[in-house]
Structure 1
Amino acid sequence: MIKEPGGERTPIRNSGSQTLARGLTALQMITDAPEGLSVQEISERLGAHRTIAYRLLGTLVDFHLITRGADGRYRAGAGTVALARNYQTVLRDAALPVLRRLADELGSTVALLVAELDEAVAIAVVTPQSVDYHLAFREGSRHPLHRGAAGHALSSLRAPSPTDTEAVVRARRDGYAITHGEVEPGAYGLSVPLPLAGQASPTCINVITYREGIVRESVERVRKAAEEIARAVQN
């Protein structure tokens, strides 16, 4: 059995051009809806007239980012796969073998997350093959930086600030963060920052499990995995 934690989308900031912001918002809504969305649903969610929605959708179709099915509903297109494939490619390629091994050793889902503005975003997620039951979540899932082990670990890589929470200060001091129930009710999280010199986006390994013993006993193992990924990226 696999359980996927519920995500939470934060409001768009610094929207810039209204047309661009609406187009990106529409793309985001469509990629989050496997069953697809109708133009009426998109128009209502954007708070825009159907004519405007049609124009936005037409542009996204032209760039192969979405596609219109025979049922008239819009779904993610092949262009989104190409974009995802090129994102953090070197880092993901170096990390995936290490994450797979770690996931099977711990019997828990292991992910690589980066900081984007004030959110933690999963760019690689590996589930264990060694157990029948585990928590899981999708690549591209995101949650606010002020919550969860990954959020605290990523925030600890940024320059110290008077607004840092106690959890961030502790993560910066200890080199890891452990939380309980901050993102998924009842779940424990363990996150270790990656020591990547010159990395534009703060990055961490995150372990999520319902078993407290796993996170308490695995800090050094996860720390070594983070160091291994960092060496592979920088060599």
Structure 2
Amino acid sequence: MTPDQRNTAASTAGSKTIDTGLRLLEILKDHPDGLTITELAQLAGIHRNAVSRHLVALGHHRLAARIGTRFTLGLGIVELNAAVQHRLRSAASAALQVLADACNATAFITVLDIDESQAVVLTVAEPRVSQIHVSYRAGTRHPVNRGASGIAILAGRPPPPEERPAITQARAIGYSVTAGELQPGAWGVAAPIITAGRPANASVGVVTIGARDENEIAPLVLSAASEIARLL
């Protein structure tokens, strides 16, 4: 084998190792109560010994944790998620304030929680010239399939076998519109933040008291989503 062939083989083996490790993390994400090595091996379709070796490596980086005979995601995942959210918050701050002022409405970034069942408000910008606007608190949670922001995130991801018609519609037009789903009297528009063609994990939107002109607000929200994605 030539040096170039050895380098190619080593690179291929390294890529396969990384791919397998990521696949194990994705499986663990879908099983918050943890899995045994045997269960992981069956779901991943690889040998138990290989799973064991990968779990040791992931454990060294605190990406996987052992509880008795079961393995779960480690706290390192939370730290990585926090770092990504900090970057998103920093990149979005200026664009978010521009959106809030342009719409004269409260603007916000929402992210998908780690278990993917809830959406969490990451950061909020209030309009600087408005006398009356919706007060929205960072850290607020709601089911991801409810409200414009959560629906927008799901619309920026591949469709599952079944989903709410509102999500399908939002995917078709690029943004979601809801009224009164999370708060009586509130009206919201949100668009997914999509980077490098990857499934959305966040959205940007605005919320107002009472309905506004969708044709006026939606382009501003879509523009903000594109700008934030560009900055990321």
Equivalent in the alignment of 1:129: 128
Could you say if the C-alpha distance between residues 84 and 156 of structure 1 is closer, same or farther in structure 2, counting changes exceeding 3 Å?
A: closer
For the pair 1:167 / 2:166, whether they are aligned, the reply is yes
Could you say if the C-alpha distance between residues 89 and 196 of structure 1 is closer, same or farther in structure 2, counting changes exceeding 3 Å?
A: same
Equivalent in the alignment of 2:103: 106
How many residues align? The count is 157
- Are 2:154 and 2:200, in contact at CA under 8 Å, matched by a contact in 1? no
- Are 2:156 and 2:199, in contact at CA under 8 Å, matched by a contact in 1? no
RMSD: 2.4
More helix by share: 2
Give distance in 2, aligned partners of 1:167 and 1:83: 31
Q: Which runs of 5+ in 2 are unaligned?
A: 1-29, 35-78
Equivalent in the alignment of 2:208: 209
Give distance in 1, aligned partners of 2:214 and 2:117: 25
Normalising to structure 1: TM-score of the pair? 0.61
Structure 2 SS opposite 1:135: coil
Give distance in 2, aligned partners of 1:138 and 1:85: 18
- Are 1:153 and 1:191, in contact at CA under 8 Å, matched by a contact in 2? yes
- Are 2:153 and 2:203, in contact at CA under 8 Å, matched by a contact in 1? yes
- Are 2:150 and 2:203, in contact at CA under 8 Å, matched by a contact in 1? no
Normalising to structure 2: TM-score of the pair? 0.61
For the pair 1:193 / 2:192, whether they are aligned, the reply is yes
Structure 2 SS opposite 1:138: coil
Q: Which runs of 5+ in 1 are unaligned?
A: 1-12, 18-81
Give distance in 2, aligned partners of 1:111 and 1:186: 18
- Are 1:109 and 1:209, in contact at CA under 8 Å, matched by a contact in 2? yes
Residue correspondence of structure 1 range 43-62 to structure 2 within 5 A? none
Give distance in 1, aligned partners of 2:224 and 2:176: 15
CA deviations on 1:171-210 (whole Å, 9 max, x unpaired) are 1111000010001101101001112126576111011001
Give distance in 1, aligned partners of 2:106 and 2:112: 19
Equivalent in the alignment of 1:95: 92
Residue correspondence of structure 1 range 131-146 to structure 2 within 5 A? 131-146=130-145
Shift >4 Å, 4+ stretches: 13-17, 82-87, 198-201
Give distance in 1, aligned partners of 2:213 and 2:186: 11
- Are 1:146 and 1:152, in contact at CA under 8 Å, matched by a contact in 2? yes
- Are 2:156 and 2:194, in contact at CA under 8 Å, matched by a contact in 1? no
Offset at residue 162 of structure 1 (A) = 2.1
Structure index of larger Rg: 2
- After TM superposition, the structure 1 stretch with the greater mean CA deviation from structure 2, 157-166 or 169-178, is 157-166
Equivalent in the alignment of 1:118: 117
Offset at residue 211 of structure 1 (A) = 3.6
CA deviations on 1:61-99 (whole Å, 9 max, x unpaired) are xxxxxxxxxxxxxxxxxxxxx999745122111111000
- Are 1:110 and 1:205, in contact at CA under 8 Å, matched by a contact in 2? yes
Equivalent in the alignment of 2:157: 158
Higher relative contact order (CA 8 A, sep 6+): 1
